[in-house]
A and B are shown apart, each in its own frame.
Chain A
Protein backbone atom coordinates (compact mmCIF):
# COMPACT_ATOMS: atom_id res chain seq x y z
CA UNK A 1 0.00 0.00 0.00
CA UNK A 2 1.28 3.45 -0.91
CA UNK A 3 2.18 5.49 2.14
CA UNK A 4 3.19 9.09 2.64
CA UNK A 5 4.48 10.20 6.05
CA UNK A 6 5.27 13.77 7.02
CA UNK A 7 7.38 14.88 9.94
CA UNK A 8 7.33 16.62 12.25
CA UNK A 9 3.59 17.00 12.82
CA UNK A 10 4.13 20.51 14.13
CA UNK A 11 7.00 22.99 14.07
CA UNK A 12 7.41 26.23 15.99
CA UNK A 13 10.04 28.59 14.62
CA UNK A 14 11.30 32.03 15.46
CA UNK A 15 11.28 34.47 12.60
CA UNK A 16 14.53 33.97 10.66
CA UNK A 17 15.15 30.46 12.04
CA UNK A 18 15.57 28.17 9.02
CA UNK A 19 14.30 24.60 9.15
CA UNK A 20 13.27 21.61 7.03
CA UNK A 21 10.11 19.55 6.72
CA UNK A 22 10.27 15.91 5.71
CA UNK A 23 7.99 13.84 3.48
CA UNK A 24 8.92 10.17 3.23
CA UNK A 25 7.10 7.90 0.83
CA UNK A 26 6.79 4.16 0.34
CA UNK A 27 5.43 3.68 -3.14
CA UNK A 28 6.13 1.66 -6.23
CA UNK A 29 6.84 3.77 -9.27
CA UNK A 30 6.70 7.41 -8.21
CA UNK A 31 5.15 9.52 -10.93
CA UNK A 32 5.20 12.87 -9.16
CA UNK A 33 5.52 14.43 -5.70
CA UNK A 34 3.69 17.61 -4.80
CA UNK A 35 3.92 20.21 -2.07
CA UNK A 36 0.92 22.31 -1.07
CA UNK A 37 0.39 25.00 1.52
CA UNK A 38 -2.89 25.23 3.44
CA UNK A 39 -4.01 28.18 5.54
CA UNK A 40 -6.67 27.65 8.24
CA UNK A 41 -10.17 27.44 6.78
CA UNK A 42 -8.96 27.45 3.18
CA UNK A 43 -8.24 24.97 0.43
CA UNK A 44 -4.65 23.88 -0.25
CA UNK A 45 -2.53 26.04 -2.53
CA UNK A 46 -0.03 24.51 -4.94
CA UNK A 47 3.69 25.09 -4.35
CA UNK A 48 5.82 22.58 -6.28
CA UNK A 49 5.88 19.39 -8.34
CA UNK A 50 8.98 17.16 -8.33
CA UNK A 51 9.38 14.24 -10.72
CA UNK A 52 12.76 12.60 -10.25
CA UNK A 53 15.46 12.13 -7.62
CA UNK A 54 17.88 15.02 -7.51
CA UNK A 55 15.35 17.56 -8.66
CA UNK A 56 15.07 20.86 -6.77
CA UNK A 57 12.62 23.75 -7.03
CA UNK A 58 12.56 27.13 -5.31
CA UNK A 59 10.01 29.80 -4.63
CA UNK A 60 10.86 32.75 -2.42
CA UNK A 61 11.94 31.31 0.96
CA UNK A 62 10.92 27.76 0.07
CA UNK A 63 13.03 25.09 -1.58
CA UNK A 64 11.86 21.55 -2.30
CA UNK A 65 14.19 18.63 -2.96
CA UNK A 66 13.58 14.99 -3.86
CA UNK A 67 15.47 11.76 -3.25
CA UNK A 68 14.41 8.19 -4.00
CA UNK A 69 12.75 7.83 -0.60
CA UNK A 70 11.85 11.30 0.62
CA UNK A 71 11.39 14.94 -0.10
CA UNK A 72 12.37 17.95 1.97
CA UNK A 73 10.82 21.37 2.08
CA UNK A 74 13.41 23.84 3.33
CA UNK A 75 12.18 27.13 4.74
CA UNK A 76 14.95 29.72 4.77
CA UNK A 77 14.69 32.71 7.13
CA UNK A 78 10.93 32.24 7.62
CA UNK A 79 8.54 35.10 8.26
CA UNK A 80 5.26 34.98 10.21
CA UNK A 81 3.34 34.85 6.92
CA UNK A 82 4.94 31.45 6.24
CA UNK A 83 2.83 30.02 9.06
CA UNK A 84 0.58 27.36 7.54
CA UNK A 85 0.15 23.62 7.19
CA UNK A 86 2.38 22.16 4.50
CA UNK A 87 1.08 19.08 2.69
CA UNK A 88 2.95 16.54 0.63
CA UNK A 89 1.24 14.27 -1.92
CA UNK A 90 2.30 11.61 -4.41
CA UNK A 91 0.95 9.99 -7.52
CA UNK A 92 2.25 6.67 -8.83
CA UNK A 93 2.25 5.14 -12.28
CA UNK A 94 0.17 2.12 -11.27
CA UNK A 95 -2.64 4.21 -9.79
CA UNK A 96 -3.42 6.46 -12.73
CA UNK A 97 -4.25 9.94 -11.53
CA UNK A 98 -5.00 9.12 -7.91
CA UNK A 99 -3.30 11.33 -5.33
CA UNK A 100 -2.24 10.24 -1.85
CA UNK A 101 -1.57 12.95 0.73
CA UNK A 102 0.51 12.87 3.87
CA UNK A 103 -0.82 14.12 7.18
CA UNK A 104 0.83 17.52 6.90
CA UNK A 105 3.20 19.62 9.02
CA UNK A 106 1.79 22.62 10.89
CA UNK A 107 4.32 25.42 10.90
CA UNK A 108 4.06 28.40 13.23
CA UNK A 109 6.56 31.23 12.78
CA UNK A 110 6.71 33.67 15.69
CA UNK A 111 7.95 37.24 15.24
Chain B
Protein backbone atom coordinates (compact mmCIF):
# COMPACT_ATOMS: atom_id res chain seq x y z
CA UNK B 1 0.00 0.00 0.00
CA UNK B 2 1.30 3.43 -1.00
CA UNK B 3 1.74 5.51 2.11
CA UNK B 4 3.64 8.04 4.15
CA UNK B 5 4.44 6.92 7.68
CA UNK B 6 5.45 9.05 10.64
CA UNK B 7 6.81 8.05 14.02
CA UNK B 8 6.01 8.62 16.75
CA UNK B 9 2.34 9.54 16.39
CA UNK B 10 2.24 11.16 19.83
CA UNK B 11 5.11 12.57 21.85
CA UNK B 12 5.32 14.50 25.10
CA UNK B 13 8.75 15.85 25.95
CA UNK B 14 10.45 18.57 27.95
CA UNK B 15 12.14 21.78 26.90
CA UNK B 16 15.64 21.28 25.53
CA UNK B 17 15.56 17.51 25.04
CA UNK B 18 16.56 16.76 21.45
CA UNK B 19 14.06 14.73 19.45
CA UNK B 20 13.60 13.35 15.96
CA UNK B 21 10.35 12.66 14.16
CA UNK B 22 10.80 10.18 11.35
CA UNK B 23 9.03 10.23 8.01
CA UNK B 24 9.18 7.55 5.36
CA UNK B 25 7.42 7.08 2.01
CA UNK B 26 7.24 3.99 -0.21
CA UNK B 27 6.19 5.69 -3.46
CA UNK B 28 9.65 6.62 -4.78
CA UNK B 29 8.70 10.30 -4.59
CA UNK B 30 11.32 12.96 -5.22
CA UNK B 31 9.66 15.70 -3.14
CA UNK B 32 9.12 15.55 0.61
CA UNK B 33 8.00 18.23 3.01
CA UNK B 34 7.23 18.96 6.66
CA UNK B 35 4.35 21.10 7.92
CA UNK B 36 3.03 22.17 11.28
CA UNK B 37 -0.64 22.84 11.93
CA UNK B 38 -1.82 25.15 14.70
CA UNK B 39 -5.31 26.40 15.55
CA UNK B 40 -5.92 29.77 13.92
CA UNK B 41 -2.67 29.62 11.95
CA UNK B 42 -3.44 26.79 9.56
CA UNK B 43 -0.89 24.57 7.89
CA UNK B 44 2.58 26.10 7.56
CA UNK B 45 5.52 24.64 5.70
CA UNK B 46 8.70 24.10 7.70
CA UNK B 47 11.16 22.57 5.21
CA UNK B 48 10.95 20.76 1.91
CA UNK B 49 13.29 18.66 -0.18
CA UNK B 50 13.31 18.21 -3.94
CA UNK B 51 15.75 15.29 -3.85
CA UNK B 52 18.46 13.58 -1.85
CA UNK B 53 20.82 16.11 -0.25
CA UNK B 54 18.65 19.04 -1.46
CA UNK B 55 16.60 20.88 1.16
CA UNK B 56 14.99 24.33 1.30
CA UNK B 57 13.32 26.43 3.96
CA UNK B 58 9.60 26.89 4.08
CA UNK B 59 7.79 29.64 5.94
CA UNK B 60 8.69 28.62 9.52
CA UNK B 61 12.09 26.85 9.60
CA UNK B 62 13.44 28.38 12.82
CA UNK B 63 14.19 25.80 15.48
CA UNK B 64 14.04 22.84 13.11
CA UNK B 65 16.55 20.83 11.09
CA UNK B 66 16.03 18.26 8.37
CA UNK B 67 18.17 15.88 6.39
CA UNK B 68 17.59 13.88 3.21
CA UNK B 69 20.22 11.18 3.02
CA UNK B 70 17.93 8.65 1.38
CA UNK B 71 15.09 9.21 -1.04
CA UNK B 72 12.48 7.54 1.10
CA UNK B 73 13.27 9.19 4.45
CA UNK B 74 13.01 12.79 5.62
CA UNK B 75 13.43 13.13 9.39
CA UNK B 76 12.54 16.32 11.27
CA UNK B 77 14.95 17.19 14.06
CA UNK B 78 14.28 19.51 16.97
CA UNK B 79 17.69 20.12 18.59
CA UNK B 80 16.34 22.05 21.57
CA UNK B 81 12.55 21.95 21.62
CA UNK B 82 10.61 24.78 23.20
CA UNK B 83 6.93 25.03 24.23
CA UNK B 84 6.10 27.12 21.13
CA UNK B 85 6.92 24.06 19.04
CA UNK B 86 3.97 22.23 20.54
CA UNK B 87 1.93 21.43 17.45
CA UNK B 88 0.56 18.83 15.06
CA UNK B 89 3.20 17.92 12.47
CA UNK B 90 2.60 16.44 9.04
CA UNK B 91 5.04 14.96 6.58
CA UNK B 92 4.11 14.81 2.90
CA UNK B 93 5.56 13.53 -0.33
CA UNK B 94 4.93 14.17 -4.01
CA UNK B 95 6.05 12.76 -7.33
CA UNK B 96 6.44 16.13 -9.02
CA UNK B 97 7.56 18.73 -6.55
CA UNK B 98 5.38 21.54 -5.35
CA UNK B 99 3.00 21.18 -8.28
CA UNK B 100 2.07 17.60 -7.67
CA UNK B 101 -0.51 15.89 -5.56
CA UNK B 102 0.95 15.63 -2.07
CA UNK B 103 0.36 12.54 0.02
CA UNK B 104 0.26 13.35 3.71
CA UNK B 105 1.21 11.19 6.64
CA UNK B 106 -1.11 10.62 9.62
CA UNK B 107 0.47 13.36 11.72
CA UNK B 108 2.56 13.56 14.88
CA UNK B 109 1.14 15.39 17.86
CA UNK B 110 4.01 16.91 19.82
CA UNK B 111 3.75 18.51 23.23
CA UNK B 112 6.77 20.30 24.70
CA UNK B 113 6.47 21.05 28.41
B21, CB-defined interface residue at 8 Å: no
CB of A55 closer than 8 Å to a CB of B = no
B101 touches A103 (CB 8 A): no
Q: Which residue of B lies closest to A100 (CB)?
A: B59
**Given B43, B48, B92, B105, which contacts A98 in the complex, CB threshold below 8 Å?**
B48
| Binary CB contact string for chain B from 23 to 42 against chain A (1 if under 8 A, 0 otherwise) | 00000000101010000111
Which of A31, A45, A46, A102 has the most chain B CB within a 10 Å cutoff? Answer: A46
Interface secondary structure of B, over-half rule: strand
Total A-B pairs in contact (CB under 8 Å)?
66
Known A32-B99, A42-B107, A46-B101: A98·B90 in contact at CB below 8 Å = no
Partner of B44, one of A31, A42, A46, A101: A101
A99 → chain B, closest Cβ, in Å? 5
The smallest C-beta distance from B54 to any residue of chain A, in angstroms, reads 10
Q: Does A29 contact B (CB under 8 A)?
A: no
Tell me if A101 and B42 are in contact (CB < 8 A).
yes
**B58-99 interface mask toward A, CB cutoff 8 Å, 1 = contact, 0 = none?**
110000000000000000000000000000001010000111
- Residue numbers of B with Cβ under 8 A of A are 4, 31, 33, 35, 40-45, 48, 50, 56, 58-59, 90, 92, 97-107
